[in-house]
């Protein structure tokens, strides 16, 4: 295929995929089956790999996230991103209307108030070029790469406007919020308090690939600036934005304040059924010329207010506190209480998260508690309404599943079972052990690990290396070829460097880089196991908490027993220092464009293995920019700052030289 033919086909594919995305994410009306959509995306990726010079900023492959950023650059808003005056009663709504009617005879647009993070999106010649946070209304932060991952944001508009800036609200759908909280609870992490906080945290991730996994969405609710079009009414702008490809906030135009108040009541009744969190409704004068007449105060416009609904809380009696153990060993207390109706459903239980929260609440079995739903979906205990007199509940000193002692680090709230063979932790621990960044056992994913655990073929990570052909063939779905491939992958993993093994053991806070630093310092698994806290603390970037985690992990008899079994099974314990180097220590690299042979993650890993650092943005502190095809703005900035630009081959020469 020629580049010309590929360019034509890519253009067709972009258009087809954009249409499917619009139907699915904006209209909620899918027009293609998942497998057909996936086939289109695969074709795009294959063509872009073959012809990297044809990749555009509006390619659908730009939505998966890229290299991590070191910081967020400031953005000055040409048009202030202001806020609205809040009102809390219908009387205040009528007072607002009376003030408006002194100047004009209005019609009102009434819209749900999405509880998310306000952002600005900028388009030039119909292409998305920049996105930023509201900040203080005057200066925000550039979060373009993170916003690209939101599939309801069009990367290319249906009309090629010279310039357009719109304002929208990024939110985390309730279903996504529930999954995130469940994952955080499983990991023993502090769960997000509500969907708004979760959305804000996701948008400020320095690694956009993390943002891409958070399933964020957006509603557009205003045009900030536009060239090439004029409008007379706000409702017209929302209709036009929808034609351009945006998902716009639902709105109803009301002729009187009575109609507007009734609509606000209706939103309040229906909001429990929305897929997103709504903390109120917005009422705006629809006529844009009338808005100019009404003007603004120093802080807020006079042509709009935000009505806030009161939170729904119910009181009930706490009957029991159940303690669950997650995959990382975190003990999670769960309150069991008399049933209450909240947001249209019956609720009987809510997570208490950790001992710190229970201490703050001073909660005990028998207390009368106040319960509400965070994000209209996650039940949470707000306070103790009436104490029964019992002592505050304490988490047990022994794991309720395996009976092993528990431990609490100074840097976190979670109390954990530190037995690596605890049945409650086994499945997820094995998934981590076999993962690509750990022992890299291809084929040993979530489904296969579950089968092994369910059939009691493994009780620890060491048991993976005692599996035989008969064991694997006893599992459903395996034939001789697939079983042989899995056994070969298990055998090959024995040759992985011991820093991967150290990471695979799942010691709290030990990632790939810190595992490598430990191996460089002590030379072997035995060296790390026998190191004291003081010796570990001598490693740059290791603090007291991390040093304590490592020392405590290898003080535990079960961990020692597991490591000895892994040794007996032939895993590599001595570190080959030639595999890593400090040659790039103190150097910062930025990767941009598509490299001829290396993938981005592969290149990043090579640089970090040599002691270097990879950043997502170019600054005066950048030492090298590694540039490939379609390098873009990072290359331009490097040239402006005089940063050294090198090719893939030059990087490889530096590594091998």
Active site residues: 113
What's the token pair of residue 570? 């032939």
Q: What is each CA distance from 392 to 9, 363, 381, 555, 559, in whole angstroms?
A: 66, 5, 15, 32, 33
Of 41, 146, 212, 67, residue with least CA distance to 625: 67
Of 439, 569, 550, 543, residue with least CA distance to 501: 439
What's the token pair of residue 340? 């209450």
3-state secondary structure of 411: coil
Are the C-beta atoms of residues 108 and 283 closer than 8 Å to each other? yes
What's the token pair of residue 251? 């709105």
Radius of gyration of the chain (CA): 28
Tokens 């290319």, residue?
156
Question: In the chain, count of helices (H) and strands (E)?
Answer: 24, 22
Residue 376 phi, psi (nearest 5): 60, 15
Phi-psi region of 443 (alpha: psi -120 to 50; beta: other; left: phi over 0): left
Residue 591 phi, psi (nearest 5): -100, 135
Residue 644's H or E segment, with its range, is strand 644-646
What's the CA gap between 76 and 198, in Å, rounded? 25
3-state secondary structure of 418: coil
Cross-strand partners of 124:
127, 163
Are the C-beta atoms of residues 408 and 399 closer than 8 Å to each other? no
3-state secondary structure 305-336: EEEECCCCCEEEEEEEEEEEECCCCEEEEEEE
Sequence-distant (≥ 6) Cβ neighbours of residue 621 within 8 angstroms = 588
Our CA dihedral for 452, 455, 460, 462, rounded to 10 degrees, sits at: -60
Sequence-distant (≥ 6) Cβ neighbours of residue 312 within 8 angstroms = 342, 343, 372, 373
What's the CA gap between 314 and 323, in Å, rounded? 24
Are the C-beta atoms of residues 467 and 487 closer than 8 Å to each other? yes
What's the CA gap between 213 and 149, in Å, rounded? 9
What's the CA gap between 41 and 522, in Å, rounded? 46
Residue 481's H or E segment, with its range, is helix 480-493
């Amino acid at each position: 295929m020629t580049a010309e033919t590929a360019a034509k086909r890519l253009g067709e594919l972009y258009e087809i995929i954009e249409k499917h995305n619009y139907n699915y994410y904006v209209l909620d009306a899918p027009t293609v089956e998942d497998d057909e959509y996936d086939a289109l995306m695969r074709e795009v990726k294959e063509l872009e790999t073959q012809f990297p010079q044809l990749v555009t900023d509006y390619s659908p492959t730009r939505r998966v996230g890229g290299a991590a950023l070191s910081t967020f650059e400031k953005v000055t808003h040409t048009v202030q991103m202001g806020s609205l005056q809040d009102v809390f009663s219908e009387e205040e709504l009528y007072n607002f209307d009376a003030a408006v009617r002194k100047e004009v005879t209005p019609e009102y647009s009434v819209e749900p108030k999405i509880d998310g993070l306000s952002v600005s999106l900028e388009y030039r010649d119909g292409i998305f070029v920049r996105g930023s946070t509201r900040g203080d209304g005057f200066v925000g932060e550039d979060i373009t790469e993170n916003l690209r991952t939101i599939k309801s944001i069009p990367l290319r508009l249906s009309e090629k406007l010279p310039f357009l800036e719109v304002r929208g609200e990024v939110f985390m759908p309730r279903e996504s919020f529930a999954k995130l909280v469940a994952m955080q609870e499983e990991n023993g992490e502090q769960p997000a308090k509500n969907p708004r906080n979760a959305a804000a945290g996701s948008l400020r991730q320095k690694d956009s690939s993390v943002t891409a996994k958070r399933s964020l969405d957006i509603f557009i609710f205003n045009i900030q600036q536009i060239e090439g079009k004029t409008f007379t009414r706000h409702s017209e702008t929302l209709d036009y934005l929808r034609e351009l490809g945006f998902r716009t906030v639902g709105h109803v135009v009301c002729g009187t304040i009575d109609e507007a108040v009734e609509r606000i009541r209706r939103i309040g009744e229906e909001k429990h059924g929305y897929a997103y969190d709504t903390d109120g409704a917005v009422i705006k004068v629809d006529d844009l010329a009338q808005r100019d007449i009404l003007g603004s105060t120093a802080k807020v416009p006079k042509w709009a207010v935000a009505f806030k609904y009161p939170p729904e809380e119910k009181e009930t009696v706490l009957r029991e506190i159940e303690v669950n153990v997650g995959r990382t060993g975190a003990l999670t207390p769960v309150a069991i209480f008399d049933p209450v109706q909240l947001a249209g459903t019956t609720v009987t239980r809510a997570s208490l998260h950790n001992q710190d929260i229970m201490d703050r609440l001073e909660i005990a079995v028998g207390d009368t508690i106040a319960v509400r739903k965070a994000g209209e979906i996650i039940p949470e205990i707000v306070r103790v309404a009436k104490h029964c007199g019992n002592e505050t509940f304490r988490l047990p000193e022994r794991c309720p599943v395996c009976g092993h002692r528990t431990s609490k680090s100074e840097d976190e709230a979670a109390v954990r079972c530190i037995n690596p063979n605890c049945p409650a932790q086994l499945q997820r621990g094995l998934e981590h052990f076999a993962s690509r960044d750990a022992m890299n056992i291809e084929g040993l994913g979530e489904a296969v690990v579950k089968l092994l655990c369910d059939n009691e073929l493994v009780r620890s990570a060491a048991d993976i290396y005692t599996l035989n052909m008969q064991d694997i063939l006893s599992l459903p779905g395996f034939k001789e070829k697939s079983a042989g491939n899995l056994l070969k992958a298990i055998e090959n993993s024995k040759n992985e460097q011991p820093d991967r093994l150290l990471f695979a053991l799942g010691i709290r806070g030990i990632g790939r880089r810190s595992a490598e630093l430990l191996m460089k310092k002590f030379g072997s698994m035995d060296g790390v196991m026998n190191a004291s806290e003081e010796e570990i603390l001598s490693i740059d970037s290791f603090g007291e908490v991390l040093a304590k985690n490592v020392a405590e992990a290898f003080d535990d008899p079960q961990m020692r027993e597991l490591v000895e079994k892994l040794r007996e099974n032939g895993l590599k314990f001595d570190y080959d220092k030639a595999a890593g180097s400090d040659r790039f220590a103190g150097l910062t690299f930025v990767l941009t464009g598509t490299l001829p042979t290396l993938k981005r993650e592969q290149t990043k890993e090579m640089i970090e293995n040599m002691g270097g650092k990879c950043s997502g943005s170019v600054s005066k502190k950048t030492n090298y920019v590694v540039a490939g095809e379609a390098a873009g703005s990072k290359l331009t900035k490097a040239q402006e700052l005089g940063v050294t630009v090198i090719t893939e081959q030059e990087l490889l020469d530096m590594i091998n030289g």
